[in-house]
Amino acid sequence: MVTTTVDLDAEGVHKGYLDVPVSLNDSAWSNLRVPIFSFKNGDGPGLLLLGGSHGDEFEGPVALSKLVHDHLETADIAGRVIILPALNTPAVLKGTRLSPIDGGNMNRAFPGDPRGTATSRIAAFVTRELIPRVDVVLDLHSGGRSLMFVPSTIVPVQKTPEATERILALAAAFDAPLTIVLREPEVAAMIDAEVEAQGKLMLATELGGLGTLTPETTAIALNGVLGVMSSMGIAGSRGRTGPRVVRPKPVRMVRVEGHSHYVYADENGVFEPFADLGDRVAAGAAIGRLHRVDRVEYPPSEVPAGVDGILVCKNGQGLVKRGDVLAVIGREIAPA
C-alpha cells in the first residue's frame, strides 16, 4: 500500500514523497521514496506532469526539476499541477529503463496493483489518486539509452477524432519540432489506456534520447511544459508578465501506424546508417547496412525502409541484435 506525505488537496506548495514499502534481499523492511510536488491555487484546471517513467530518459526529470525549483510558484498558477519528476525513482537512480528492484517497466505496469511489486504499486497510486485529480496528463519520455528521436510530442490515436483533435491542440501548445500521431502497439498496459478510460487527455513526448541531455532537448522540454500550462489556463512562470500566448501555427506532423513503419534488425551485427534523423527515406531503399564483422563469409546486408517517410527515430548503438529497432519512419501528414 502506497501512502504519501503530501496532502494533495491542500492549497499552496507542498513537496514530499510517495512511500512505497518494499521487501528486498538486502533490506527486509525497506521504504522506497518517490518525490512528489503539489501546487494548488483554487479551483481550476489540473495537470499531472510525469518524468522518469523509464529510468534512462533524463530530459523529463531535468525539465521538471527546473520547473519546480526555478519557474513555479503557486501565486503564478490557477488550478493545480502535480509533478513527479522521477516516477520510477529506483530506475532513474540506476539509469536503467526498468526498475532494478523488480524489473518493472513503469509504462507497461498500468493500471497497476496496490498489492503488486513496487513498480505496480506506484502505477496503481497514479491510477487511483493522481489521474482522477487532473484533466491532462503530460508524460515526458525520450529514446532512452538505445534510441534517439527527433524531439517530438506523441499523440496517441483516440477512439474519437474529436479526442485526438484535443490532444493535437495540446501538442501544438507544447511546440516540439515534430508531432508524431501514433497507434501504440502495447497500449493496454500503458498509462495512455488508463488516462483515456478515466475520460482525461494524455500527451506524451519523445524528446531525444541516448541516455543523455542537450541544451536543446532540455529547453524544448521545459518550454513545452510551460506552453501546455499556458494553453490550459494554468499559466505560471516566475518573472513572466501575464500568460504566454500560444500562436497557432503549422506543426510538422507525421503518422506512425503498424509494423511497416518500424525497421528491425534481422540479425546481430554492427549497423551502418545511411540516413540521419529528419531525413526523407523511400520504401524499398536501404537506410543502412548490417555488418557481420566476426564472419568472413558474409558481405554487409542492406536494410530497406518499409514505407516512404521521414526518419523520426534511430538506434543509437553501433552494435545491434536481431529484433532491435533500427529506425522508425513517420509518414508526413503536415509539412513544416
Q: Which residues bind Zn ion (CB under 5 A)?
A: 54, 57, 141
* CB closest to Zn ion, residue no: 141
Shortest Cβ 144–Zn ion spacing (Å): 6
Calpha distance 191→207 (Å, rounded): 18
Shortest Cβ 145–Zn ion spacing (Å): 11
The Cβ of residue 84 has, within 10 Å, a number of other Cβ atoms equal to 25
Q: CB-wise, 54 or 252, nearer to Zn ion?
A: 54
Q: Are strands 253-256 and 325-334 parallel, antiparallel or unpaired?
A: antiparallel
DSSP 287-320: EEEEE-TT-SS---EEEEBSSSEEEEEEE--SEE
Question: Do 79 and 44 form a contact (C-beta atoms < 8 A)?
Answer: yes
Q: Are strands 269-273 and 286-291 parallel, antiparallel or unpaired?
A: antiparallel
Q: CB-wise, 193 or 286, nearer to Zn ion?
A: 193
Shortest Cβ 60–Zn ion spacing (Å): 9
Distances (CA, A) of 209 to 17, 43, 81, 120, 246: 27, 36, 26, 25, 26
Integer Rg of the chain from CA? 20
Q: CB-wise, 79 or 330, nearer to Zn ion?
A: 330
Q: CB-wise, 88 or 120, nearer to Zn ion?
A: 88
Q: CB-wise, 102 or 184, nearer to Zn ion?
A: 184
Distances (CA, A) of 79 to 83, 132, 222, 230: 13, 14, 19, 12
Q: CB-wise, 38 or 105, nearer to Zn ion?
A: 105
Q: CB-wise, 40 or 141, nearer to Zn ion?
A: 141
Shortest Cβ 305–Zn ion spacing (Å): 24
Question: Do 189 and 124 form a contact (C-beta atoms < 8 A)?
Answer: no
Shortest Cβ 134–Zn ion spacing (Å): 20
Shortest Cβ 141–Zn ion spacing (Å): 3
Main-chain phi, psi angles of 257, to 5 degrees? -135, 125
Shortest Cβ 151–Zn ion spacing (Å): 14
